Amino acid sequence: QRSLVTVGEVLAVLAAPDVGPLTLGSGLRLGLAGAESNVAAAVSRLGGSATWIGRVSDDALGDLILRELRAEGVTTVAVRDAAPTSLLLRERRTATHSRTRYYRTHTAGSRLSIEDIPEDLVAGAAVLHITGITPALGEGPSLAVTRAVDIAVDAGVPVSLDINYRSLLWSEADARRTLLPLLRRSDLVFAGPHEARLAVPGAEEPEALAKAICELGPTGAVIKLGVEGAYALLDGQELRQPAVPVTVHDTVGAGDAFAAGYLAELLAGEPPERRLRTAVLLGAFAVSTTGDWEGLPRRHELDLLDHHDDI
């Protein structure tokens, strides 16, 4: 099977296990995160082939990142860099309010460059998946993503874009300016309503947002609606998929899980209805488990959330 190829940065997460302000001597749990690697790992767990391209630090954290991705069956195409791994600090300030801080400047991932993108690999991909996070990391990563899209478009490889707007990294105006040219050349776009409005201001409802996105070039737009499921416009065909009801534990990573569910079924040659169904199922796994991606299912576990009365 040809691979899903993605380009991004893996961060080390330092998550406070306790509620309240950080104190001297309080513990921090080490984890890994990153939208693109989340997608790659999730696709791999569903039996799809996934390849992650990026820069990782030349130290223990870099080793950990590569080891974990490889353990998940993801092919890694990584440049080792003397700069450190980016950090994401997650504080549980109150029981219901978490605070996130990035430490991701002058880091290995943010030094990604055009030369790090192997042409053959992208040209031979089943799909190139990119997100709005990598271009927000700086000029080098932004050019690298553009280069990957250039190669994909020239080779006829479909491009999938998750807008993934991060207000901590850049302004909406900067995001729009950089992401619109990428969106126009994408085939498939994933967005929450707010992210979609960022790309196509003026439209409000999911139907209008998807239509406006497709008028810019993509043949598919999938609007993620959280507890209301998803709305998709795919080759002019409208599809609606209700969410799977679960107890929400932690919503971070839900969007990546959703995209991965959709893309894994696309790689497997499944029809749109099935892609959307698996997408919302993966979103449900992500929100009802701890961690951004660790709780995502293997393919044989997919029906777990469908049959919760089973003993």
For the record, the structure tokens of 209 come out as 């947002």
The rounded distance, in Å, linking the Cα atoms of 273 and 156 is 24
Query: How many CB atoms within 10 Å of residue 229?
Result: 17
Q: Which of these segments, 173-181, 247-255, 264-272, 274-282, binds ligand CKP (CB under 6 A)?
A: 247-255
Provide φ and ψ at 26, rounded to 5°. Answer: -70, 150
16 SS3 class: strand
- What torsion do the CA atoms of 133, 135, 138, 139 make, to the nearest 10 degrees? 170
The rounded distance, in Å, linking the Cα atoms of 204 and 196 is 9
Clarify whether 187 is annotated catalytic.
Answer: no
Q: x/- binding map, residues 177-206, to ligand CKP, per CB under 6 A? A: ------------------------------
The closest residue (CB) to Mg ion is: 255
Yes or no: say if 140 and 83 are a contact pair by the CB < 8 Å rule: no
Name the strand (E) or helix (H) holding 161: strand 159-162
Smallest separation, CB 206 to Mg ion (Å): 16
Q: Which of 33, 233, 260, 287 binds ligand CKP (CB under 6 A)?
A: 33
Verify binding: residue 206, Mg ion, rule CB under 5 A: no
How many residues interact with ligand CKP (rule CB under 6 A)?
15
Q: Which of these segments, 97-105, 211-219, 247-255, 275-283, binds Mg ion (CB under 5 A)?
A: 247-255
**DSSP states along 195-241:** HHHHHSTT--SHHHHHHHHHHTS-SEEEEE-GGG-EEEEETTEEEEE
Nearer residue to ligand CKP within complex by CB, 182 or 252? 252
Provide φ and ψ at 229, rounded to 5°. Answer: 90, -130
Yes or no: say if 252 and 292 are a contact pair by the CB < 8 Å rule: yes
Smallest separation, CB 19 to ligand CKP (Å): 21
11 binds, among Mg ion, ligand CKP, none (CB under 5 to 8 A by kind): ligand CKP
Region of 221 (left: φ > 0; alpha: ψ -120 to 50; beta: rest) is beta
Q: Which of 133, 188, 214, 282 binds ligand CKP (CB under 6 A)?
A: 133
The rounded distance, in Å, linking the Cα atoms of 42 and 295 is 10
Verify binding: residue 34, ligand CKP, rule CB under 6 A: yes
Verify binding: residue 166, ligand CKP, rule CB under 6 A: yes
Nearer residue to ligand CKP within complex by CB, 141 or 220? 141
Smallest separation, CB 41 to ligand CKP (Å): 11
Q: Which of these segments, 62-70, 182-190, 225-233, 253-261, binds ligand CKP (CB under 6 A)?
A: 253-261
The rounded distance, in Å, linking the Cα atoms of 116 and 122 is 11
Smallest separation, CB 36 to Mg ion (Å): 11
Q: Which of 84, 109, 135, 253 binds ligand CKP (CB under 6 A)?
A: 253
Q: Choose the catalytic residue: 256, 292, 306, 310.
A: 256
For the record, the structure tokens of 166 come out as 């991060």
Smallest separation, CB 91 to ligand CKP (Å): 15
The rounded distance, in Å, linking the Cα atoms of 265 and 268 is 5
Q: Which of 255, 261, 291, 297 binds Mg ion (CB under 5 A)?
A: 255
Verify binding: residue 132, ligand CKP, rule CB under 6 A: no
Nearer residue to Mg ion within complex by CB, 86 or 164? 164
Catalytic residues: 256
- Per CB under 6 A, residues contacting ligand CKP are 11, 33-35, 38, 88, 133, 164, 166, 252-256, 292
